Amino acid sequence: MDRVKTSALSGAEIVVRCLQEEAVEYVFGYPGGAVLFIYDELFKQDKVKHVLVRHE
């Protein structure tokens, strides 16, 4: 039986990969709190662009 080497993905990595697979070009948001991990992953790639909003 062959073993497949896998690595665990974080929830934030999965979110960003799904956005990329769905060809999302822009996300709009205000970084902070619970979404910081998603923002960390967004800034590691260049396919999905972030637009900072002025107000919640």
| Span 13-32, pLDDT tens digits | 999 999 999 999 999 999 99
Whether residue 3 lies inside any domain: the answer is no
The model's pLDDT over 28-48, given as tens digits with 9 standing for 90+, comes to 999 999 999 999 999 999 999
Domain count, the chain: 1
Whether residue 5 lies inside any domain: the answer is no
Alpha-carbon distances, residue 38 vs 3, 5, 16, 51, 53 (angstroms): 31, 25, 7, 14, 16
Whether residue 25 lies inside any domain: the answer is yes
Domain that residue 42 falls in: 11-52
Q: Which of the four pLDDT bands, split at 50, 70 and 90, describes residue 1?
A: low
For residue 30, which of 54, 2, 1 has the smallest C-alpha distance?
54
Asked whether residue 56 carries a pLDDT value surpassing 80, the answer given is no
Could you identify the residue written with the tokens 């709009």? 28
Whether residue 1 lies inside any domain: the answer is no
Whether residue 38 lies inside any domain: the answer is yes
